[in-house]
Amino acid sequence: MDITSFQDYFTLKQGSRSPFSPMLLFFRHRSVSDPVIGPFEESTLETLRRKFSGNIWVLPHLYDLPDFCEEFREIRDNGEPIVAFSWLPVRAAFARLRQRTGVTKLTCFDLAEIHNSAVSLESLSFPDSNDAEIFVEIRRSEKSLHKRWYPIIDEQVCQNCLECVNFCLFGVYTIQENQTPLVEQPDQCRDGCPACSRVCPAGAILFPEYDDPVISGRQKRTEIVEPATKDELDRLIDQVEGKR
């Protein structure tokens, strides 16, 4: 069963007989003290609490969470299905959560789109919350994390050409036994560099915080692949040679 609405999700989760486990994940923005972002998150949470039946787990920013952290382990152990709200584009959030937790019954929502009114929270369908078996609790995990920068591979569109592995000069990627690419050393990636996303013929490499919506994953790539720009390549080579 594909999850296309909260009602589908609710039906599936009820069937899993684990009503007390976290059902909805809410990954916060880094700027929780921002006078606009903070209140927006709290009002969104309040709406979710009012309209959604199930436990809500409030977590730090999805992109900054370490790859092997207790939060991902717990999400994996909790099982499926999962609904996740984060500040990442849906494609990037889906790929990251699936890669780190193994969860596949996953529905993601982009808080940036809700904040920009591109998606209305009120328009999302929520289940009736009158079931006595369903426990509603908000749990918060407060953690201070470093801002990170690294590529996320959308495995659903990757063609396994391994161009990215050959292109990156910093050992970010490796080839797995099954001849597919893996982001093995994400924190070796150069801050702000999106160069390998331009050499990927499939548009599978996402930098969710880059301002180009095609590279961030908010917009589908429709045109022919743009090669990495000369400036990006110069920058990479300079960094290898220690000039920057």
Kindly list the residues in this chain that would bind ligand SF4 in the complex (CB under 6 A).
Answer: 151, 153, 158-164, 167-168, 170, 172, 181, 189-190, 193-196, 200-202, 204-205, 236
At residue 106, the 3 state secondary structure works out as strand
Q: How far is the CB of 215 from ligand SF4 (least distance, A)?
A: 10
**Cβ closer to ligand SF4: 131 or 212?**
212
User: Per DSSP, what are the bridge partners of residue 84?
Assistant: 25, 108
Those residues whose C-beta lies under 8 Å from the C-beta of residue 227, and which sit 6 or more positions away, are 198, 199
**Cβ closer to ligand SF4: 56 or 164?**
164
What number of CA atoms fall less than 13 Å from residue 148's CA on the CB side? 20
* The pair of three-digit structure tokens given for residue 117, joined into one six-digit string: 């009114």
Contact 190, 170 (CB under 8 A): yes
Distance CA 45, CA 91 (A): 22
Q: How far is the CB of 192 from ligand SF4 (least distance, A)?
A: 9
Q: What is the dihedral of CA 211, 117, 93, 28, to 10 degrees?
A: 100
* The pair of three-digit structure tokens given for residue 37, joined into one six-digit string: 């972002």
Q: How far is the CB of 71 from ligand SF4 (least distance, A)?
A: 24
Distance CA 51, CA 65 (A): 28
**Cβ closer to ligand SF4: 23 or 158?**
158
**Cβ closer to ligand SF4: 26 or 207?**
207
Angle at alpha carbon of residue 182, lines to 178 and 187, rounded to 5°: 160
**Cβ closer to ligand SF4: 13 or 96?**
96
Q: How far is the CB of 2 from ligand SF4 (least distance, A)?
A: 24
**Cβ closer to ligand SF4: 37 or 169?**
169
Distance CA 189, CA 67 (A): 14
**Cβ closer to ligand SF4: 89 or 181?**
181
- Residue 75 CB-density burial (10 A; 0-12 exposed, 13-18 middle, 19+ buried): buried
Q: How far is the CB of 90 from ligand SF4 (least distance, A)?
A: 18
Q: How far is the CB of 200 from ligand SF4 (least distance, A)?
A: 3
Q: How far is the CB of 96 from ligand SF4 (least distance, A)?
A: 14
* The pair of three-digit structure tokens given for residue 36, joined into one six-digit string: 């606009």
